[in-house]
Structure 1
Amino acid sequence: MADGGRQYRVLIVEDEDNIAIALDYLMSREGYAHERIATGQGALDLIRDTRPDLVLLDVMLPEVSGYEICQEIRADKDLSDVRILMMTARGSAMERRKGLALGADGFIAKPFELGELRAELRRILDGETT
């Protein structure tokens, strides 16, 4: 979706191919420029290089957890405008609180309805807070 003619850029950090394919489809339908990385290890470098508007971040990743990536993004003042939507199959209230406490802008449990994810993406990209 464009913001004043500008296309939002989303980085998908997801190691499960089936979920990544569904997310890729949704991002394309919504008009977001997007790319995907499947491991946490390279995600931070890619985030620093590309400065996406939003990182759609899985909690459970190989090598480095989504929580650690979230913490690193929030500790880097050059990335202060990058928004983070965390997602996990362990969608307990405690997991949600932890993600938000570490600086995530939103938290969604898998499996999610595409409409629910679409609404969260729009809410975060439009600058509303949780």
Structure 2
Amino acid sequence: MVDVEEFKKGIRERVSQDYGIEFLGHNFDKIVNLLTDEKTETIYQWIQMIFENNPKPIYVKSKKTYKQWPVSKLLTFRYPFSINNTEYRILFVKVKNEIYIEFHLGDHKYYDKVRKDLFVKESEL
């Protein structure tokens, strides 16, 4: 079982102290508590890879807005994983040239809602 605050701290350390990170998600704490140390380390490595430009983000060319930003300014990264045969997703959303990041963690239903809010098509994933 992984401690929620330690998990968030681990994400912040890998991102940078300069960024404001908002942790969002339906049952976020419950899902983090289900993570093993091995899965947690894999997520941390994935976060580090984002800042090394691998994997590539999902870009959406649109003039629509998400919160106060044009969708075209968002860099969205997706990480799927499963625990006990239940599928979960992380959506890591960074605003270009801003110091704001969203870290979404949830089940497929939550993920699908956020994906639609971000105007990301299923085919782009």
With the length of structure 2 as denominator, give the TM-score of the two structures: 0.30
Greater share of residues in strand: 2
The structure with the greater share of residues assigned to helix is 1
Please identify the structure whose Cα radius of gyration is greater. Answer: 2
